[in-house]
Chains A and B, each alone.
Chain A
C-alpha cells in the first residue's frame, strides 16, 4: 500500500485524476442542465459509449481527433433527438427511456464494432497530445496538475462557472430551470416547455458524447465494448450528490476521478491488495456518497415528470 504514497506516484495520480475527471465532468455538466429542465436522462452511459465508438470509427477513418470529437458530438445530438422524442413528445417514462436506450446502445455499438473489425485486429493509434499552458505549467506541483492537460480538460473545467452563470444569470437559463420547476408557469408566459427541454437534452447529450470521445482519444488506443465502464452512471451520481449545483457536482466528479486513477496506479505499482478491490472504489464511493449526502433541496420539482399540456 505504501508504494502509492510516494511523492512521484501521488503526483502522477493527481495529474491523471484531472484528465479522467474531464470525461465524467463533461457528462455531468450535460446531465445537470438536462435535469434542471425536468428531464431525468438515464441514458448517459449509452450516450457516452456511442460517443466513444463514433470517435473511434472517425479517428480510424480520418486520423483527425478534432473531426472525431465533432462527429461524436453530432452523434450525441442525434441521441438527444431520440431521447427527447421519447420523453418529451411521446412522454414515455424517463427512466424506462434511459434504460432502454442504454441497452440499445450497448447492443448497437457492439454489433457495429464487431462488423467493422470483421474478425481482424482493430486498428489502433496513439493518444492525443497534451497542451501545456506556457508559464503556468512550470509552477511546481500545481503547474503539472492543473496546467499541463488536454485542451478539452481546460474547456470542461471552465464549463463549470459558465454553466452556473447560464443557469443563474441568463434569461434562457432561467426559462430552462422553470421548465423543470414549474412548466405551467412557462406555458402561461407563452413560452414553449418542449423547446427548452429539447435544447437541454440536445446540449446534454452532445456534451456527454464529447466526454465519451475524449475518453477514447485521450486514454485508449482503440475501442472495446463497454469501454465507458460505468462513468456515465458516475456522472448521474455526481449531479445528485452535488445537489444539482455545478460547483458541488464538480467536487463529486473529482472524488470519483481520484479513486479511478488510484485504481489504475495500484495496478501499475503492484500493491499487495488485489487490484479488483481498487477497481471497485468509485462504485463503492458512489453509493456511500448518496447515503451520506441526502440533501435534495436542489432537485427540480418536476424532475422526471412528463409534462402534459392542457
Chain B
C-alpha cells in the first residue's frame, strides 16, 4: 500500500528533486520507446541534440520554434492559475491567425510600421473574443470551460478548412495545398536575424512573459487570479466580481494564444495555412503545466520543447525515428512531472498504515 498525507510546507529542494526525477524517468521511458521502434537510443538522442543545439543556426532555429510555445504556454499559465481549465489555446491561436489575415486583406500597401501592429491587435482581439466567449458561457450558463473550448477548437479548425479548401481565401491554383497566397512584405513581422528567420515575435514573447509575471505577482488582478484558483467563495465575500475576473482571464489567455498564431503565420510561414500551426496550442498546455504554472517556468519549458521540436526534424533525417517521438516524449514528461509534483505536496509512505 502507498500512503499519502499532505505536507505543510515544501522547500525548493523537494521541488528540484521532483523535477530531476521526472526528467530522468521521462528520458528513460522515451529511450524505451526508441528501442521499441528498433532504433539506437544513442544515435536518436545524439541527432536530437545535434539538431537542437549543434550549431549557431540550430540554436537560433530552436528559438524560432520556441516562440509560439511561449505564447500558448503563457495562455495556459494565466488560465490554469485561476483554475480555469481552458484547453482552447489551439482554436484561439487559429482564430488569431485568421483575424490577423482577414484584417491584412484591407491594409493594402500600408507601411509595415502601421500594418504589423494593426494585424497583431486584430489577432489578439480575435483570440480574446473566442476565449471570452467561453468565459461568458461558463459564468452565464455554467458551461464547463473544458468542454466549450474543446468544441470551439473543432469548430474553428473546420471554419479555417472551409476558408482554405476552395473557400474565399484559397490561393489561386493551390486548392490542394489548403493555403492563402503569400503575404505582402509589409505584413511580415520584422526579422532580428535575416538568415534564420528569428523574428520580433521572440522578443514579444519574452515581454509577454515578463508582463504575465508582473500581472500575476504584483497587481490586484493577479491577486484575484490566484485567489480564484485557491478559494472563489472567499473572493466573492470580499466583494470581487468573480464573473468579471473569469471573463478577463479568458480574454487574456485567448489574446496570448492568438500571438502564437501571428508569430507562426506572419513571422515564419508568410501564408495562412493550418498544418504549420497544428498542435502548438496543445503543446502549450504541456509547456504551461511543466513550467509549474509560472511564467518564467513556462519560458524555460517552451525553450526546451522548441529545441526538441527543431531537433526532431534533424533526427528524423539522420535516423529511422519519426519526428512524432517528440510529442510522445512531451506527454510522457508531463505525466511524470504531474506525478512527481505529488512528492512536493505530500509525504509519501510505503507500507501498511499502523493506525487503522
Return the contact of B162 from the options A276, A283, A290 (Cβ within 8 A): A276
What DSSP secondary structure best describes chain B's contact surface? helix
A100-B331 contact given A92-B339, A280-B158, A296-B142, CB 8 Å threshold = yes
A selection of 30 A-B contacts at a CB cut-off of 8 Å is: A42-B146, A82-B335, A90-B339, A90-B342, A92-B339, A92-B342, A97-B338, A99-B87, A99-B285, A100-B289, A100-B338, A103-B286, A103-B331, A104-B331, A106-B282, A107-B326, A107-B327, A107-B332, A108-B331, A110-B327, A236-B147, A274-B162, A274-B167, A276-B162, A277-B162, A283-B151, A283-B154, A286-B147, A290-B147, A290-B148
Chain A interface residues (CB < 8 Å from chain B): 42, 82, 86, 89-92, 95-97, 99-101, 103-108, 110-112, 114-115, 118, 229-230, 233, 236-237, 240, 274, 276-277, 279-280, 283-284, 286-287, 290-291, 294, 296, 308
- Measured in the bound complex, the distance between the Cα atoms of B165 and A82 in whole Å is 40
Mark B151-185 against chain A: 1 for CB-CB distance below 8 A, else 0. Answer: 11011001101100101000000000000000000
B297 to chain A, nearest CB (A): 15
A284 touches B155 (CB 8 A): yes
How many of chain B's residues have a CB under 8 angstroms from any CB in A? 51
> Chain A residues near B143 (CB, 8 Å)?
287, 290-291
A103 touches B150 (CB 8 A): no
Binds A, one of B15-23, B110-118, B259-267, B316-324: B316-324
B337 to chain A, nearest CB (A): 9
> Chain A residues near B328 (CB, 8 Å)?
104, 107-108, 110-112
B41 near A: Cβ within 8 Å?
A: no
- Measured in the bound complex, the distance between the Cα atoms of B6 and A294 in whole Å is 35
* Residue of A whose beta carbon sits closest to that of B163: A276
B325 near A: Cβ within 8 Å?
A: yes
B233 near A: Cβ within 8 Å?
A: no
> Chain B residues near A86 (CB, 8 Å)?
335, 338-339
> Chain B residues near A296 (CB, 8 Å)?
142
What DSSP secondary structure best describes chain A's contact surface? helix
A95 touches B141 (CB 8 A): no
- Measured in the bound complex, the distance between the Cα atoms of B328 and A241 in whole Å is 33
> Chain A residues near B338 (CB, 8 Å)?
86, 92, 96-97, 100
Interface contacts beyond A90-B339, A294-B141: sample of 5 additional A-B pairs, CB < 8 Å, sorted by A: A100-B331, A104-B334, A115-B37, A277-B162, A291-B137
* Residue of A whose beta carbon sits closest to that of B341: A92
> Chain A residues near B339 (CB, 8 Å)?
86, 90, 92
- Measured in the bound complex, the distance between the Cα atoms of B336 and A92 in whole Å is 12
> Chain A residues near B208 (CB, 8 Å)?
none
- Measured in the bound complex, the distance between the Cα atoms of B88 and A127 in whole Å is 34
Return the contact of A233 from the options B36, B147, B165, B334 (Cβ within 8 A): B147
B150 touches A105 (CB 8 A): no
* Residue of B whose beta carbon sits closest to that of A230: B154
* Residue of A whose beta carbon sits closest to that of B148: A287
> Chain A residues near B87 (CB, 8 Å)?
99
> Chain B residues near A110 (CB, 8 Å)?
324, 327-328
A91-B346 contact given A104-B335, A115-B37, CB 8 Å threshold = yes
A114 touches B331 (CB 8 A): no
> Chain A residues near B332 (CB, 8 Å)?
104, 107-108
* Residue of A whose beta carbon sits closest to that of B162: A276
Counting from the closest, the 5 A-B pairs by CB-CB distance are: A104-B331, A107-B327, A115-B37, A114-B322, A276-B162
Mark B246-287 against chain A: 1 for CB-CB distance below 8 A, else 0. Answer: 000000000000000000000000000000000000100110
B33 touches A111 (CB 8 A): yes
